[in-house]
Amino acid sequence: EVQLVESGGGLVQPGGSLRLSCAASGFTFSGYWMSWVRQAPGKGLEWVANIKQDGNEKYYVDSVKGRFTISRDNAKNSLYLQMNSLRAEDTAVYYCARSRGWPLHYFDYWGQGTLVTVSS
Amino acid sequence: QSALTQPASVTGSPGQSITISCTGTSSDVGGYNYVSWYQLYPGKAPKLMIYDVSNRPSGVSNRFSGSKSGNTASLTISGLQAEDEADYYCSSYTSSSTLVVFGGGTKLTVL
């Protein structure tokens, strides 16, 4: 059974940093592109970033470029999102998701999400 | 404001059929057969219901079907059941740097 479990969310002040983690199991993690998708309170879903199987290609939504870094450790079956210079508008539930299709365009498995709140 | 437009809410009765629309542009929905639909329950992992406009993943009920005409995609749920009450989001590949865009979501209520 495919499982994705996020952790690392919490309350952080504007300008602060947070690192999210996603533990994957039930599939060959190193064989898939992975993504982070977020949902702000009362808003729709927004794709944030994705990373190739070997970690050598990464893409970001414009609003987080230069502030967020996606990474992975295939030996630990884990995906990460380092978030720096956080803003109030980054407040959201962050989901880890497995990316599919070529070009990448859908997500076949998701975690339950972890809440990030940016507030003073 | 989301890139794709969905109705905020849809209501149906058990056993009925409902359709949720998802309108985009020729740069996303209309330009590619890469529309997908997700079911969200509060506090739970989102679930893929439809991909590539009309394909159902293994395990998804055949009561769920997808279609597309021009710049508008649709999700139809037939034989509505109480457990179908959830939020539904569409998404599409886009030629912009965003890669994937989502709709604003539709809350389905089963009366």
Supply the pLDDT for residue B96: 83
Supply the pLDDT for residue B41: 94
Supply the pLDDT for residue B98: 81
The answer on pLDDT for B4 being more than 90 is yes
Cβ–Cβ gap B57/A100 under 8 Å: no
- B60 vs A: CB within 8 A: no
**Which pair of tokens denotes residue A88?**
């109030």
- B103 vs A: CB within 8 A: yes
**Which pair of tokens denotes residue A90?**
């980054």
A44, A105, A111 member nearest B105 (Cβ): A44
Supply the pLDDT for residue B82: 96
Task: Render pLDDT for A62-110 as a digit per residue (tens, 0 to 9).
Answer: 999 999 999 999 999 999 999 999 999 999 999 999 999 988 899 999 9
The answer on pLDDT for B2 being more than 80 is no
How far is residue B82 from each of residues A80, B47, B74, B79, measured CA to CA in Å?
Answer: 37, 17, 20, 10
* Residue from B10, B107, B48 nearest A4 by CA: B48
Which residue matches tokens 């055949």? B62
B91, B98, B103 member nearest A61 (Cβ): B98
| Beta carbons of B100 and A47 less than 8 angstroms apart | yes
Gap between the Cα atoms of A7 and B76, Å rounded: 34
Average pLDDT over residues B62-66: 98
Task: Render pLDDT for A26-53 as a digit per residue (tens, 0 to 9).
Answer: 999 999 999 999 999 999 999 999 999 9
Which residue matches tokens 């009765």? B13
* Planar angle of CA A32, A37, A38, nearest 5 degrees: 160
Interface residue of B55, B75, B98, B100 to substitute, partner A, most A CBs within 10 Å: B100
| Beta carbons of A33 and A51 less than 8 angstroms apart | yes
B43, B45, B51 member nearest A110 (Cβ): B45
Classified as helix, coil or strand, A29 is helix
Chain B residues within an 8 Å CB radius of A113: 45
- CA of B1 to nearest chain A CA: how many angstroms apart? 8
Cβ–Cβ gap B100/A4 under 8 Å: no
Supply the pLDDT for residue B102: 96
Supply the pLDDT for residue B97: 78
Supply the pLDDT for residue B70: 97
